[in-house]
Amino acid sequence: MTLGTRLFTWLRGREVGVDHLGNRYFTERKTRAGDRQRRWVMYNGEVEATRVPPEWHAWLHHTVDTLPAAGRPQPAWLKEHIPNRTGTEDAYRPPGHVLQGGRRARATGDYEPWRPS
C-alpha cells in the first residue's frame, strides 16, 4: 500500500472490520451530502484483489450495506483461497502452449483448415 493510502486512511478512515486473512476494511468518517460512502481495503501482505472474501467483496461494492458477520462458519464445500498465478511459473498453460513444448494433439476429422482461394 502506498503512503497516500496510509495517510488518507489515517486522516479520513474508520476501521469497520477484519476478515480471516487479516485484511482490514474501512469507510470514510464523514461523507458529503449526496455522495456515497467510500469503502476500501488494506491488504494484509500481498496486494491481491482475489484475496477479498465474497461477503466483503459485496460490502466493498455496495451490493449489501450490512457488514459481514465475524466468525461466521464457512460452508464445507468452500475451498481454500488460491492466489492468481498469472505471470508466474505456476500459471496455467494449455496443451500446445509454446512453454509446454509447442505441440498439441492433432485435430479430429471435423476440422478443416481455411485456405485462401
% of the chain beyond a pLDDT of 70? 98
Residues 43-62 have a mean pLDDT of: 90
pTM above 0.85, yes or no: no
What is the DSSP annotation of 81-112? P----TTSTTS---TT-GGGTS--PPP-TT--
Distance CA 86, CA 112 (A): 32
Best mean pLDDT range from 14-18, 76-80, 91-95, 102-106: 14-18
What per-residue confidence (pLDDT) applies to 41?
Answer: 95
Residues 7-20 have a mean pLDDT of: 91
Distance CA 115, CA 39 (A): 55
What per-residue confidence (pLDDT) applies to 90?
Answer: 86
Please return the burial class of 13, using the count of CB atoms within 10 Å of its CB with bins 0-12, 13-18 and 19+: buried
